[in-house]
Amino acid sequence: MNKQKQNTEIDVLKLAGVVLKKWWIVLLATAVVGILAFDYASYFVTPLYQSKVQIIVDSSGDTSEKTTTAEITASQRLADTYRVILKTRPVLEAVIEYTGLNYTTTALEKMIKTQAVNSTEIFEIIVTTPSPEDSRDIANALAAILPDQVKKLKPNSLSTLTLLEPAVLPESRVSPNRVRYAALGAMIGFIVSVAIICIIDLLDDVIHDEEYLTKTYDLPILAVVPDLLDEGQGHSTEYGYSLSNNQVKEEKNNA
């Protein structure tokens, strides 16, 4: 068991050495795949733009500051209800008519997200589309249409919806994150290149030297065949025949 573990550790060290010897391949693969991922995110992934509005709900219809916990709780529950009403078909159809945009109600619903703000009476309407103008216009249209739809559904309600701040034109895309794409691509390039180098080395069953035999099979070496292609200075490359320059001259003189 210990011997097997030791061999495993030696193999890991050997693979690490092989990877280090080919560091330039790993570096090149990491850089190339990272750049390709960045370019893919820049030119082939549809950019998305996000715009949002915030609406405050007052359950009592009084715009003065809340003084009781019951009123705050009631406003929070109403805000959750209005977030559901926001995505109903009548509201979405009214938004499409209001903006004149060519979206279906199903597509428009997927573009809209709502969320409460820190457990307060305020909720956000977040719109994400491929167009910065559409994101802004849809968010503002929802803020304008929602109070009227609430009045139609609950005509006797005293609650009010107040727009805190209108949506503005997004200045930058929210997706895709090109830096994240590049980092992920670089990581993939690094892992794949290291894996390929290790696999090639593990599948290499060519005997390169006597050290390979001793480490792999743990057997004694009885003989070593010399390198017949060794063309060192002053030696002949013919099999089993190696003479120095002086010996070659002496044989020529004797002849």
Domain count, the chain: 2
pLDDT value of residue 64: 54
Whether 145 maps to a domain, the answer reads yes
The domain in which residue 233 lies consists of: 209-255
Residue 54, strand partner residues: 124, 165
Q: Is 24 helix (H, G, I), strand (E, B) or coil?
A: helix
- Give the model's pLDDT for residue 191: 96
What average pLDDT does this structure show over 90-100? 94
Mean per-residue pLDDT, 125-136: 96
CA 64 to chain CA mean position, Å:
47
Residue 6 scores a pLDDT above 50: no
Distance CA 112, CA 131 (A): 14
Domain-located, residue 81: yes
Q: What is the pLDDT of residue 124?
A: 95
Complete DSSP assignment for 123-142: EEEEEEES-HHHHHHHHHHH
For the CA atoms of the chain, what is the radius of gyration? 37
Q: Is residue 95 included in any domain, yes or no?
A: yes
Q: Which residue has the higher pLDDT, 89 or 3?
A: 89
Tens digits of residue pLDDT in 171-199: 999 999 999 999 999 999 999 999 999 99
Which tens digit of pLDDT belongs to each residue from 220-240?
777 776 666 555 554 544 444
pLDDT higher than threshold 70 for residue 246 = no
Task: Judge contact between 120 and 103, C-beta under 8 A.
Answer: no
Average pLDDT, the chain: 82
Lowest mean pLDDT among 136-140, 164-168, 184-188, 199-203: 199-203
Residue 55 lies in a domain: yes
- Residue 57: partners with Cβ closer than 8 Å, 6 or more residues away: 75, 76, 78, 79, 82, 121, 122, 123, 159, 160, 161
CATH number, domain containing residue 158: 3.30.70.1130
Q: Tell me the pLDDT tens digit for each residue of 143-159.
A: 999 998 888 888 777 77
Where in 95-243 does DSSP place strands (E)?
112-116, 122-129, 160-165
In a domain, 187, yes or no: no
Asked if the structure places residue 202 within a domain, the reply is no
Residues 147 and 223 in one domain: no
pLDDT at 20: 93
Work out the percent of the chain whose per-residue pLDDT is above 90: 51
Using pLDDT thresholds of 50, 70 and 90, give the confidence band for residue 247.
Answer: low
Of 105, 137, 165, the one marking the end of a domain is: 165
Mean pLDDT throughout 83-110? 94
Residue 175 lies in a domain: no
Residues 61 and 130 in one domain: yes
Which is more confident, 124 or 7? 124
- Domain termination site, one of 165, 198, 220: 165
pLDDT greater at residue 68 or residue 85: 85
pLDDT reported for residue 160 = 85
For residue 43, the model assigns a pLDDT of 92
Q: What is the pLDDT of residue 23?
A: 93
Residue where one domain finishes, among candidates 137, 165, 193: 165
Flag whether 185 is in a domain: no
| 21 pLDDT tier (thresholds 50, 70, 90) | very high
Residues with Cβ within 8 Å of residue 148, at least 6 apart in sequence: none
Confidence (pTM): 0.68
Quote the pLDDT of residue 189: 96
**21 token code pair:** 């010897």
- Give percent of the chain with pLDDT exceeding 70: 75
